[in-house]
């Protein structure tokens, strides 16, 4: 998991609690007792959604202002790209370009790459 980023959360990027429950930014308020901003997130639970208050660092604040166990994090983003593979006498090599779709990969392939015959286009998924 990536550390919580308030600006990205306000912009609409996905956010979740450390236990995996999705959370959605709703609004920010200024807490009078400490003049510190607090941010309300709607947290998805099994049977109902609840509103919880978090500080700028994504730490849950209880009603008396003490820190609780819950913390917001940024979930990893998964991306799938397509890569063309070519055969060599020593194994397989890939093209140097990734493509967003299989159709783009096939359209971007050549019958050979540095005299290596085209094998196919395959998806590769990674998280960042």
Question: What tokens appear for 14 in the block?
Answer: 């996905």
Predicted confidence pLDDT, tens digits, the chain (128 residues): 899 999 999 999 999 999 999 999 999 988 776 678 889 999 998 899 999 999 999 999 877 655 565 899 999 988 999 999 999 888 998 888 899 999 998 888 776 667 788 899 999 999 88
pTM: 0.67
């Amino acid at each position: 998991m990536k550390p919580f980023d308030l600006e990205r959360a306000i912009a609409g990027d996905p956010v979740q609690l450390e236990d995996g429950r999705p959370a959605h930014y709703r609004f920010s308020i200024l807490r009078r007792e400490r003049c510190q901003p607090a941010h309300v997130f709607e947290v998805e639970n099994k049977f109902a959604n609840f509103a919880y208050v978090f500080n700028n660092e994504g730490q849950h604040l209880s009603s008396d202002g003490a820190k609780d166990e819950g913390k917001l994090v940024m979930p990893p983003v998964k991306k799938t790209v397509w890569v063309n593979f070519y055969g060599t006498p020593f194994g397989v090599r890939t093209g140097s370009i990734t493509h967003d779709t299989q159709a783009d990969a096939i359209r971007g392939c050549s019958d050979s790459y540095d005299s290596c015959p085209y094998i196919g286009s395959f998806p590769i998924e990674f998280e960042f």
